[in-house]
Amino acid sequence: MFTMSLGDDKAELRPLEPWRAEDFLAHLDRARELVDPWIPFASYATDLDSARALLQRYADKQAADTGRLYGIWLADTLVGGVLFPSFDAERGNCEIGVWLEPAAQGRGLITRAAERLIDWAVHERGMHRVEWDTSPGNTRSIAVAERLGMTRDGVLRQSYLHRGERHDSEIWSVLAPEWRARTGR
């Protein structure tokens, strides 16, 4: 197992694996009201079995090199996460997603965690395009995409169904040459 420091505040990035289901469920219970409108899987993991199944799905995606899921830990408490819901190494495209519980907001944790994952995707895995998919109403998520130097590609109108209602998706992206110029690597 590994941990990756996110800075001097002792925040860490760690893999979220099935054996962490209790921590994951407790975290989602604290975060659910805030993140459910933006992160649909928050409504799927409502008990220990469903939380473990969701983590197992991402463990399987990691084994197949098609996705990954990491937790953001602060003082040994899981407070958020960052993931690759899709990861296509052959085509050089991936999508990154994030979430954070209310008590951990305002510390830059999401931006720092996303930077680590984008860095790894571009510099280590050779990804060419990293996408950010958000709701047009999620101003905090849009602000992070802007801080990451992403470009707004457009809106996919009514592209997904959540809780019986159609929602728009706003797509942002950063390309490898842009990320390399930004990071100086």
Q: What strands lie across the sheet with 4-5, from one edge to the other?
A: 4-5, 11-15, 68-74, 77-88, 93-100, 129-134, 165-175, 151-162
Please, what sign has the CA dihedral across residues 57, 63, 68, 69?
A: positive
Whole-number pLDDT of residue 86: 95
For residue 1, is pLDDT > 60?
no
* 46-92 pLDDT per residue, tens: 899 999 999 999 999 999 999 999 999 998 899 999 999 999 999 99
Predicted confidence band at 4 (pLDDT cuts at 50, 70, 90)?
confident
Please, what sign has the CA dihedral across residues 55, 59, 60, 62?
A: positive
Q: What is the mean pLDDT of residues 147-176?
A: 92
Burial status of residue 2 (CB atoms within 10 A of its CB: 0-12, 13-18, 19 or more): exposed
* 31-52 pLDDT per residue, tens: 888 877 777 777 788 899 999 9
**Stated pTM of the model:** 0.92
φ/ψ (deg, to 5) at 166: -80, 140
Q: What is the mean pLDDT of residues 159-185?
A: 90
